[in-house]
Amino acid sequence: MSTARSHWSTRFAFILAAVGSAVGLGNLWKFPYMAGANGGGAFVLIYLLCIAAVGVPIFIAELYIGQKGQKNAVASFEATHEKNTPWRCIGFMGLASAFIILSFYSVVGGWILDFSFKSIFNQFAGKSDEEVKGFLGALFESPWTQVGWHFVFMTGTVGIVLGGVRNGIEKWNKILMPTLFALLGVLFIYSFTLSGFSQSISFLFSPDTSKLTAAGVLEAVGHSFFTLSLGMGAIITYGSYLKKKEGLAKIAITVAFLDTLVALIAGVVIFSVVFTHGMEPGGGPTLLFQTLPVLFSKMTGGYILAVAFFLLVAFAAFSSSVSLLEVAVAYWVETKKKDRVRTTLLIGIVIFGIGVLSALSTNVLSDVKIFKFTFFDLFDKLTSSIFLPLGGVLISLFYGWVLGPKAIEESLSLGKKPSLMKIGLLWTTRVLAPVAVMIVLVKGVMDF
């Protein structure tokens, strides 16, 4: 089976795909509103610490397990350790996460598509603030529109994954990622010209620790997993399409750096617009769908800005959603020896079906509560606060204790000689990361 496996054509193609997976709604939608709601700078500081101290080591661990195992997110645990090892349960939990995350991710992707169309057809122009804000409410109230856009988003994701690793995922990322960076660059340069720019910079980069709550710290830890696509096998799966032994640490640092850069630039752009118009940064999840369109409707050049912005977010969402779907497809195609096209379609339909529950959470099913959450919130909480951190802890322990120093030497390609990096990586994956993440996990479970 392994001879038939495809691989990325180059190391650069892999980095693009990994950045594509990491950069998504987490960076452009979640990060800015979380930072806004948690007081800005202090939250950003904790988030940066988490990326460096927990995110990068676990990223290296996942890359290593995938590359060494050369198999999907379940079988790679067996290939790197032993047949039927209980550690492969991490992979099964990852599969469950892939289904659940993609199901609600696609619903939000659908909102983005809806707003992309609205901006292309210039629907924000000439409207009152209340009317522009009303678009989101109208979308939420209409089950058919939401399910329809969710369908379109899933169809796009399935369409890309159908092409396979080289002709689907890699090819699309080569188009989507450079466009995304170019659009973000243009928006960033534009934000220099806004009077709210310097206020935005000081909001995000001068930490005021008095604004930080325990819940904010824990959110930052949880988000560092979500944003780097960790804890559920996406990076294991992508890593399994890497050919030779590469210096994995360098790759992990590059991807984490670019992912963070995108989140920070998106934050600067969004808050520059927000402060220029004297609006509140703590707008929450609706920041992107209400605050920004209101502002775009008032600004000179707002039409172009709105189109560029929503397309940027749509591209980022697609390049992440394909990595979620690939986790499940790779497992069924390899382990169960199923046909790739039929499997992709079938899994796509199942995930679409689960996602309908989230699409209906703001209308028909808004009164259906499980543990006091709607389906949408339940799926988001369950994965971001429990499955991903738990997966992360276990992956870290598997790598640090079970695979141990030899794996770390291979990951860093430094040979046997002792080095600070080796010791650092060993003890972060053995102790530091698991302990820190365990704390988030306990809090996540207590929230239910």
Residues that bind ligand PHE (CB under 6 A): 21-22, 24-27, 101, 226-227, 229, 232, 234, 320, 323-324
C-alpha to C-alpha distance for 212 and 219, rounded to whole angstroms: 11
Q: Do residues 255 and 19 make contact, with C-beta atoms less than 8 angstroms apart?
A: yes
Residue 234 C-beta: closest distance to ligand PHE, Å = 4
Q: Do residues 42 and 125 make contact, with C-beta atoms less than 8 angstroms apart?
A: no
Residue with tokens 């496996």: 5
Residue 222 tokens, joined: 């949880």
Residue 101 C-beta: closest distance to ligand PHE, Å = 6
Of 23 and 279, which CB lies nearer to ligand PHE in the complex structure?
A: 23
Residue 90 C-beta: closest distance to ligand PHE, Å = 14
C-alpha to C-alpha distance for 319 and 21, rounded to whole angstroms: 6
Of 263 and 360, which CB lies nearer to ligand PHE in the complex structure?
A: 263
Of 42 and 324, which CB lies nearer to ligand PHE in the complex structure?
A: 324
Residue 11 C-beta: closest distance to ligand PHE, Å = 20
Of 270 and 324, which CB lies nearer to ligand PHE in the complex structure?
A: 324
Residue 27 C-beta: closest distance to ligand PHE, Å = 5
Of 324 and 382, which CB lies nearer to ligand PHE in the complex structure?
A: 324
Q: Do residues 79 and 70 make contact, with C-beta atoms less than 8 angstroms apart?
A: yes
Residue 263 C-beta: closest distance to ligand PHE, Å = 8
Of 103 and 323, which CB lies nearer to ligand PHE in the complex structure?
A: 323
Residue 224 C-beta: closest distance to ligand PHE, Å = 10
Residue 227 C-beta: closest distance to ligand PHE, Å = 4
Angle at 363 between CA 446 and CA 158, to 5 degrees: 85
Residue 440 C-beta: closest distance to ligand PHE, Å = 16
Of 24 and 400, which CB lies nearer to ligand PHE in the complex structure?
A: 24
Q: Cα Rg for the chain, rounded, in angstroms?
A: 21
Residue 365 C-beta: closest distance to ligand PHE, Å = 24
For residue 331, give the amino acid letter.
Answer: Y
Residue 225 C-beta: closest distance to ligand PHE, Å = 8
Encode burial over 336-375: b for 16+ CB neighbours within 10 A, e otherwise.
eebebeebbebbbeebbebbbbbbbbbbebeeeeeeebbb
C-alpha to C-alpha distance for 94 and 233, rounded to whole angstroms: 6
CA-nearest of 100, 143, 123, 137 to 328 is 100
Residue 55 C-beta: closest distance to ligand PHE, Å = 11
Of 173 and 297, which CB lies nearer to ligand PHE in the complex structure?
A: 173
C-alpha to C-alpha distance for 251 and 176, rounded to whole angstroms: 20
Of 24 and 110, which CB lies nearer to ligand PHE in the complex structure?
A: 24
Angle at 281 between CA 296 and CA 204, to 5 degrees: 110
Residue 428 tokens, joined: 């972060």
Of 124 and 153, which CB lies nearer to ligand PHE in the complex structure?
A: 153
Of 87 and 225, which CB lies nearer to ligand PHE in the complex structure?
A: 225
Residue 14 tokens, joined: 């892999």
Paired residues of 370 in beta bridges: 373
Of 25 and 359, which CB lies nearer to ligand PHE in the complex structure?
A: 25
